Each structure stands twice: as C-alpha cells, then as structure tokens.
Amino acid sequence: MSATEQPAAAESTTVLFGKYEVGRLLGCGAFAKVYHARNIETGQSVAVKVINKKKVIGTGLTGHVKREVSIMSRLRHPNIVRLHEVLATKTKIYFVMEFAKGGELFARISTKGRFSEDLARRYFQQLISAVGYCHSRGVFHRDLKPENLLLDDKGNLKVSDFGLSAVREQVRVDGLLHTLCGTPAYVAPEILGKKGYDGAKVDVWSCGVILFVLVAGYLPFNDPNLMVMYKKIYSGEFRCPRWFSPELRQFLARVLDTNPETRITVDGIVNEPWFRKGYKEVKFHVEEDLGEKVEVEEKVVELNAFDLIAFSSGLNLSGLFDGEVGEEGERFMLRESAESVVERVEAAAKVEGLGVRRRKECGVEVEGCDSNFVIAVEVYRLAEEVVVVEAKGRGGGALEVWKNKLRPHLCAATTSHEEQTQSNQTV
C-alpha cells in the first residue's frame, strides 16, 4: 500500500505526501476517519480527516464535501477548528486540520456529569463568538452539538464539523433555508415545521440546548419515542433543574423561544447581563478575519482548500493525477519540487528552440519562433514535493507543441524520480 494512498493501522508508520506522519485513529464515521498526525518538518500535531472519495461520490454527497472545504477555507477564528490544507489522491481526500488535544466537549460532559454555571458560561461565550463570526461570513452550521465542539490543550472551545453547514447563497427567494438536517435533540422547532427557516436562528436554538446540557448534565427535550420528543421541542416543553440561577432561567427562556421571530439573536445574547459576566471579547488579527487568499508576488503558489476544489471536475480529483489534454490545456500532478519543474520547462523549451520567459517564480511562458503561439505554464505546490502543473495554450498548434515536445521532457524525468521516491517511502 502506498503511503500517499491510505493511512495504515496505528502500529505501522505511514507518511502522507512526505509531509505528515500519521498516528492513532481519533474517530470514524460512515465516509471518513480522523487520525492524529505530525508535521515531520515542524513537529506540529494535526488532525487528518480521510474521506473515501468513492463512497462519497456513490452516495451523492459530493456537494457536502465541496461545501465543507469551501466553508472551512473562509473561516479564521480562534474558536473554530482551522483547516490547514487539503490533499488528495485518486481514492482519498485528506483534510489537514488543527488538532484539538482536549477532545470532544461531549466526552467531558459524560465524565463530569455537568459543569458549574460559570464554566458553562465561559464555553457558551466562546461558542457564541464563533457562531456569530460564522453568521457574519454567511455561514450557518446547522449541526451544533457537544460532539462537534472540541477543546484545545488550554481548555478553549473549538467548533468543528461543517459537513451540514449552509451558506447564504443557498437561501431561496423567500429568504429561508429548506433542507431538513441536524441532530434530533438539538434541532429547532421551525425545522420540524417544514416551512423554511433562518439559518442563524436555528443555530441560536442549538446553542441554547447546548447551554442547558452543560449546566444540567442532560437534554432539555428528550424521550425514547422520537415523535414524542419532537412534540416537546415544537411546544417548548422543558424544565430547568433547581440549581439553575434565576438569571440563567430567564436567559434560556429567550434562547429556547419556539417562535423564531421573537427568539433572541446573537447580538441580543452578547448584550444580556447573564452572558456578559466575565465576558472577554475575542480579538484576532484582521488578516485572519478576512479569510481570503492573499496573493504574494514572486512566490510559488501553494494550493489552499478552495483552490483544490476549484481545480476538480465535480469531486473527481483524479484529474490532478492523470492529466488529459483538453481544448484549452491540461492539469496534472508531479511528485517533484515546484522550482525543479519550472527549471525543466525552461530547459525543454530551449532544447526545442523556443522562446521562454519567467512569469514570476511560479511559472513560465513559452513562445513559438515567429510568436504564432504562446504556452503558459503555472506550477502550484500541493505539498513540499508534490505539485500541480497547469498548461494553457494560445494560438495554432500550441497544445500540440506542449503535448509532443515539452510535456515528454517532464514526464520522462519524473518517472525515474517517482520510482526513487516510492522505493524510499515508509509503508
């Protein structure tokens, strides 16, 4: 089994793309497994979510995965799990994410039973900060629950798992979302009504359920019979235990308001006296808050999560590996450094008697002798020794020259390089 294909069992060492040493299994679901891993170069711990591409495509969930990548690439907040990069092979997609050493908040509740009101408030403040930030970026989580809230080594909360999230662009003409989703015990009553809902307001409801669970140690709406539980949610039937303070009771009544029109908003929550006790507004750098790719001149471009999805056709990322020449050009992957690829394109062009000039450090332009065509070659770094080469041609015969004269120089040299690399890989 190749090290770039699939993590092996925990007892054997697997290295992904020559960059991440994969360790123990942290958790698994129907379509993905999450492993602890270590960045070999920096020693940094990361979590690697491994998605089986075949299963995802076969069950029609490609849109969910693409949306999750797009959403996580735009979110930069201290209380949201950060997506570092996305890697891919023909069969797997790898989300390399921030590692939350403290594990799930759900596990902490299961162990402790319930938290003090002050500790619950601290977690709730961090949750609302993250959720409010998401809403400001046009993102609605739609599956907030303790299982999707992680803790770092300092005990700070991190929101994770944006697989069911929606973005503002999905809102219909009526201004509402209509997809039925979420976890039964945390779902808002208006979702059960099947008439459309406001993504921000259903997130607030779920936050209210989480707060209740943190302080009570059990769910506000619960019943072995799912339909009975839904009736309780729809009618707002819940009782606060005796240890809840009067202020918390009043606050929860506003958060768990069954009427979305009168339910308190995130802005309203932040101004509530119960919430503001000991509250410290989360501050972070403006450049992180932008959540946008910054283009740096004279640097080799490194693919971020959004770029990777944009390169694909649907979710079939095999185009990054196989490379088929189309009408305008092609993309394919090489296991080689970006600098080396650029240098060899330049050398190949000179061998063929073609004009060549640099387009910043990450690419070159090759011209015909009489300037009748131009071939633009861009190199994008996917990992330290893995790149995506994109070639586009303008003018008659450009792609024929690329296919028959330039590309063979790259592929011939790469074959021996890959054979040597594979012989050195740890399986």
Q: What is the separation of C-alpha 246 from the centre of its chain, rounded to a whole number of angstroms? A: 40
Report whether 367 contacts 378 (CB < 8 A).
Answer: no
Taking only the tens place, the pLDDT of each residue in 232-267 is: 999 998 999 999 999 999 999 999 999 999 999 999
Both ends of the chain: CA-CA distance in Å? 6
In the block, which residue shows the tokens 């009736």? 231
Report whether 106 contacts 209 (CB < 8 A).
Answer: no
Report whether 362 contacts 300 (CB < 8 A).
Answer: yes
Report the b/e string of 110-119 with b at 16+ CB within 10 A: eeeebbebee
Q: How confident is the model at residue 61 (pLDDT cuts 50, 70, 90)?
A: low
pLDDT of residue 291: 36
Strands 14-16 and 20-28: antiparallel
49: β partners: 34, 95
**pTM, two decimal places:** 0.66
Rounded to 10°, the helix 199-216/117-136 angle is: 170
Q: Hey, which of 2-6, 57-61, 354-358 has the most confident mean pLDDT?
A: 354-358
pLDDT of residue 80: 95
Q: Is 8 helix (H, G, I), strand (E, B) or coil?
A: coil
Taking only the tens place, the pLDDT of each residue in 398-412 is: 888 888 888 888 776
Q: Is 363 helix (H, G, I), strand (E, B) or coil?
A: strand
| C-alpha separations of 83 from 15, 151, 154 in Å | 19, 16, 19
Calpha distance 396→33 (Å, rounded)? 48
Q: Is the pLDDT of residue 419 over 50?
A: no
Taking only the tens place, the pLDDT of each residue in 129-163 is: 999 999 998 899 989 999 999 999 999 999 998 88
Which tops the pLDDT comparison, 420 or 378?
378
In sequence order, which residues have a C-beta less than 8 Å from that of residue 125 and are 6 or more positions away? 275, 278, 279, 280
Amino acid occupying residue 141: H
Amino acid occupying residue 379: V
Calpha distance 65→195 (Å, rounded)? 26
pLDDT of residue 284: 58
Domains of the chain: 14-99 (3.30.200.20), 103-279 (1.10.510.10), 323-424 (3.30.310.80)
Radius of gyration of the chain (CA): 25
User: Could you tell me what percent of the chain has a pLDDT over 90?
Assistant: 37
> In the predicted model, what is the mean pLDDT of residues 207-222?
95
In sequence order, which residues have a C-beta less than 8 Å from that of residue 74 and are 6 or more positions away? 137, 139, 291, 292, 306
Structure tokens at 94: 């790898």
Residues marked active site are found at 143
Show the beta-strand stretches assigned E in 105-171: 139-140, 149-151, 157-159, 166-167
Which tops the pLDDT comparison, 305 or 402?
402
In the block, which residue shows the tokens 């408030």? 121
Taking only the tens place, the pLDDT of each residue in 271-289 is: 999 999 988 887 655 444 3
Arithmetic mean of pLDDT over the chain:
79
